[in-house]
Amino acid sequence: MQSGRQFLLGGCFCGKVRYRLTDRPLFTHCCHCRECQSLTGSAFVINALIEADRIEMLCGAPVAVRVPSTSGAPHDVYRCPDCQTAVWSDYGARGWLRFVRVGTLDEPSAITPDIHIYTRSKLPWVRLPEGAMAVEEYYDPRSLWPAESVARYDAGHRAAAIALEG
């Protein structure tokens, strides 16, 4: 994400769902997996990972639509109930973490991918930027994420575990 941007606004195509990111994303993926290609009808999807409590709803509320996943883990795509724009996803029932669709931001150019994942299924005509970080499958976030992002992720994971126990 470009420095100096603290709040990013976004929403669905019809404008009935609007949100604000209140912090920088943890990390941003450009995913080239077949599942994302199929679900989006595109060559890839760009997801900004951020804690759910750092998304402020300004109006409306997306609804969760459970979709099949190749891993078998739950995968909910949150869509505007009217125009059906996919605003974000929750992969693997991690309710505290959202994968915000960068294309739903008012200024999608404010965030660039930190990494291209699942490039083994990248369409052959897609050209990655020179020097872009890319992996054939997934990766170990601890080895690539900034320390601040790892700390935020760990804090969110701990809080979710405590909430489940209580």
pLDDT-based confidence at 3, cuts 50/70/90?
very low
Domains for the chain: give ranges and CATH numbers.
8-165 (3.90.1590.10)
pTM for this entry: 0.91
30 Cβ neighbours under 8 A, 6+ residues apart = 44, 45, 46, 113, 115, 116, 117
In sequence order, the β-bridge partners of residue 29 are: 47, 115
C-alpha R_g of the chain: 16
pLDDT-based confidence at 1, cuts 50/70/90?
very low
- Give the tens place of pLDDT for each residue, 34-77: 999 999 999 999 999 999 999 999 999 999 999 988 888 888 99
